[in-house]
Amino acid sequence: MNTKNIKGFFEDCKTAAEEILENIKKEGFIPIFSHNDPDGVTAGSILAKAIHRAGGSFLLRVIDRLDETTIGEIKKIQSNFYVFAEIGSGYLDVLKELSEKSKILVIDHHRPLEISYPNLTHVNPMLHGIDGAKEISGSGVCYFVAKNISEKNIDQSCLAIVGALGDLQDRTKNRCLQGLNKQIVEEAKSKKLIEVTTDLLFYGRETRPIHKAIATTMNPFIPGLSGEEDECLGFIVNLGVPIKDGDRWRSIADLTHEEKQKIFSELTIYLSKKGFSEESIFQLVGCVYTLLTEDKWTPLRDGREFASILNACLKMGKTGVAIALCLGSRGETLDEAQNLFNEYRKTIGHYISLLLEKKPQTIIEFENMYLIRCHGIVDEKMLSPIATILSSSGGLNPNKPVIALTKTENGKIKVSARASQPLVDQGLNLGLIMQNATQETGGKGGGHNIAAGATIPIEKEEEFVKLVNQMIKKPP
């Protein structure tokens, strides 16, 4: 990144803030549409809070994609100004019809279409040479817009960090946020909103017994341990690590440095034997982002766990619970969210087991990629996490990306694509491949270089698969 690019990006954020304030003054009401993932729901919530604080009212709706049906539903919401948060850059052509009667503000970080037209304001770091896959998330972009609306919104930095972690923007070797994400972290630290340390990255590191924390960890998915509490208990006991302090179960946070080293060393040996790469193994250690404004002993106090809770709510179809958490609701809302997370974890584990059992019909190795056929097994809402987990699994060659497919309720094929960082460093760009392959097959796709998605007509599945395999070998 250079100063000129960052300056231009910040100027766009300021312009977006001015438009929001102008429309609060004119209309009072602003509808917001955000993407159906943790980064999207935090992005939309950041804007919603900023609008409310500025004296406006809002509608926040979470959507999975933009198509003719969705646009038709949006049109029913009367407004002269629509905001799209963490979605829209890859759908600018679809949004053009909506812009003919209303102003549109798109705040996103995905690979943008090269389209502009009247009534469109487009804020995207990639327009300024800033990598939207690892330097700033969609919620981070919305944070900088919100901060331009009012400096009071610096307290929304925590949600932006949760969004970035939910978007897996910590996929560096040390598992720490970088670029403009790091600037947001520093702003949060300056206000004593967050604390950053280095530790083991098991889910429930402060709130769950050691064996349950390991069993709950899904990224990376540890064959034989993830989802298997009894096996994890035996694993810890065999290491000679005390699991209780008196009558109280010990958590990861209670372990000594030597005990953590012992667990990590043994897991390294275990995962190496399972074929995991060094990159996958080191996903277990990294920066821990502790949200100091959240109550101790709750999962929302850890940034990654907060993101995981949001993801579970969204994938289980409870978008209202996810939004409520982002807007500050706790108590019964958090209880429901934790129950949803437990259901989600069991569902994901069940799907992974079925796919592995039905291999090689479900997991097919091509010359340049792995094709994961999930038809009749995995619900479309669960496809993205399945692709993420399998792409980090030691059973697959990390030098090949994962392309997962499943049939949708409306008779189409949903696609979720994932690659390793080394492949991206070599020039692979899944977002561009999804965009180009869908243009040739009558679908819609895009995303980041390391993670992307698409929707295609069901009759074009085989043609799409062949195209993607060719494009990975010879990038477009």
pLDDT for 3 beyond 70:
no
Alpha helices in 54-178 (DSSP H): 68-75, 92-99, 138-149, 157-166
In the three-class reduction of DSSP (H, G, I as helix; E, B as strand; rest coil), residue 13 is classed as helix
Give the model's confidence band at 393: pLDDT under 50 very low, under 70 low, under 90 confident, else very high: low
pLDDT in tens, 114-152: 999 999 999 999 999 999 999 999 999 999 999 999 999
pLDDT at position 1 is: 46
- The secondary structure of 332-366 as a DSSP string is HHHHHHHHHHHHHHHHHHHHHHHHHHTTTTSEEE-
- Report the alpha-carbon distance of residue 79 to residue 27 in Å, rounded: 8
Half-sphere exposure at residue 10, Cβ-oriented, CA atoms within 13 angstroms? 10
- Report the alpha-carbon distance of residue 338 to residue 345 in Å, rounded: 11
User: How far, in Å, are 162, 362, 365, 411 from residue 353 at the CA level?
Assistant: 29, 11, 18, 25
- CB contact burial 204-219 (16+ within 10 A = b; e otherwise): bbbbbbbbbbbbbbbb
pLDDT for 246 beyond 60:
yes
pLDDT for 2 beyond 80:
no
Q: Which of 267, 281, 217, 204 is nearest to 238 (CA)?
A: 267
pLDDT in tens, 396-453: 788 899 999 999 988 899 999 999 888 888 999 999 999 999 999 999 999 889 999 9
In the three-class reduction of DSSP (H, G, I as helix; E, B as strand; rest coil), residue 44 is classed as helix
pLDDT for 157 beyond 60:
yes
- Report the alpha-carbon distance of residue 302 to residue 184 in Å, rounded: 16
- Report the alpha-carbon distance of residue 125 to residue 132 in Å, rounded: 6
- In the chain, % of residues over pLDDT 70: 98
Average per-residue pLDDT for the chain = 93
φ, ψ (nearest 5 deg) of residue 61: -125, 135
Adjacent-strand bridge partners of 162: none
- Report the alpha-carbon distance of residue 79 to residue 85 in Å, rounded: 16
Adjacent-strand bridge partners of 105: 83, 121
- In the chain, % of residues over pLDDT 90: 78
In the three-class reduction of DSSP (H, G, I as helix; E, B as strand; rest coil), residue 9 is classed as helix
pLDDT at position 290 is: 96
Mean local confidence (pLDDT), 452-470: 96
pLDDT in tens, 363-384: 999 999 999 999 999 999 999 9
pLDDT in tens, 27-61: 999 999 999 999 999 999 999 999 999 999 999 99
- Secondary element (H or E) of residue 455: strand 451-457
In the three-class reduction of DSSP (H, G, I as helix; E, B as strand; rest coil), residue 196 is classed as strand
pLDDT for 257 beyond 90:
yes
Give the model's confidence band at 295: pLDDT under 50 very low, under 70 low, under 90 confident, else very high: very high
Residue 153 in tokens = 């919104």
pLDDT in tens, 55-108: 999 999 999 889 888 999 999 999 999 999 999 999 999 999 999 999 999 999
pLDDT in tens, 275-293: 777 777 888 899 999 999 9
Alpha helices in 167-297 (DSSP H): 179-190, 210-216, 229-238, 257-273, 278-281
pLDDT at position 65 is: 87
pLDDT for 468 beyond 90:
yes
